[in-house]
Amino acid sequence: MYGPGKKPLVWSWPPVSRHSQFKSQPAADPESATPAVDAPAPEESAPSATGTPAEVTAMIGDAYPPEDQSQAEEQPPAGREVMAETGDAAVDAQARPCPPGMPMGPYVPPPGQYYPPEPQGPELARAYIPIQRFGPTFNPAEALQRGTLFPELYRPYNH
Amino acid sequence: MDNQAQMLIRIQQLQFVAVELNLFLDTHPDDQQVLALYNQVHQELVQCVRTYEEACGPLLNYGYSPAGKAPRWLWAETPWPWEIKY
């Protein structure tokens, strides 16, 4: 879709997040990624901005090529055409035909604008709570005094 | 500390243990050891409450405690929580 001298056929909103941009999926065939509006996008034509971040960065320059009026006029009205290059079904479902005068192609934020650089293969934080196991307990008087029956939960403030 | 206050403290202690075991059983409903301990604490708590009410009057009103064997209504005469000297 982003070949040299070619403009993307359609425009979508909301913009594709950077996370989905960096999904490592094979590049879609530029000619096969134009399904009809009411037809679900085939899986093989779904992947979008693909490849490594460096490749995506290289593509950013093509996302908004210089205005070429003659080429823009060759563009079909895009009434029944949606973009299928995001690979995100939710985004595909909300794809809209490009209004006149709007920039073509999915919105790609400039690199480093939203989030700082990340290491290779970052993972989101994970929270866990270990299951409590029953063991020795305080006696009732001590439990009432300490505020818990379970010694493993006794954490007084130090002040 | 008089005998009434000691009985009330024992009731509070057992109530607190029951609450703690209750919370533990909420997340460990099949723990037989804790179930048995909870039932044991419940029995002791009921016994302590019964002993206290027979000696000092009802702990609860509106039908949750018996009036007792005293020939008069003791609810208004028993101390309020802030009047108990521990």
- DSSP string spanning B1-50? --HHHHHHHHHHHHHHHHHHHHHHHHH-TT-HHHHHHHHHHHHHHHHHHH
Q: Are A1 and A85 a contacting pair, CB within 8 Å?
A: yes
**Is a pLDDT exceeding 80 seen at residue A105?**
no
The predicted structure's pLDDT at residue A98: 64
Query: Does A94 score more than 80 pLDDT?
Result: no
A interface with B, Cβ–Cβ < 8 A, is 131-132, 134, 140-141, 143-144, 148-150
A contacts of B38 (beta carbons < 8 Å)? none
A79, with CB counted inside 10 A (0-12, 13-18, 19+), is: exposed
Contacts of B28 in chain A (CB under 8 A): 132, 134
Asked whether the predicted pLDDT for residue B10 surpasses 70, the reply is: yes
Burial call B50-83: b when 16+ CB within 10 Å, e when fewer: eebbeebbbbeeeeebeebeeeeeeeeebeeeee
B24 contacts A134? CB cut-off 8 A: yes
* pLDDT tens digits along B26-76: 999 999 999 999 999 999 999 999 999 999 899 999 999 999 888 999 998
pLDDT digits (tens, 9 = 90+) for B35-46: 999 999 999 999
| Pairwise pLDDT comparison (A152 vs A12), residue with the higher score | A152
Of A132, A143, A150, nearest to B16 by CB-CB distance is A143
> pLDDT higher for A135 or A35?
A135
Closest residue by Cα to residue A53 from A21, A85, A15: A21
| pTM for the structure as a whole | 0.50
**Which carries the bigger pLDDT value, residue A116 or residue A49?**
A116
- The residue that leads in pLDDT, A16 or A46, is A16
pLDDT (0 to 100) of residue A68: 53
Can you tell me the ipTM of this complex?
A: 0.89
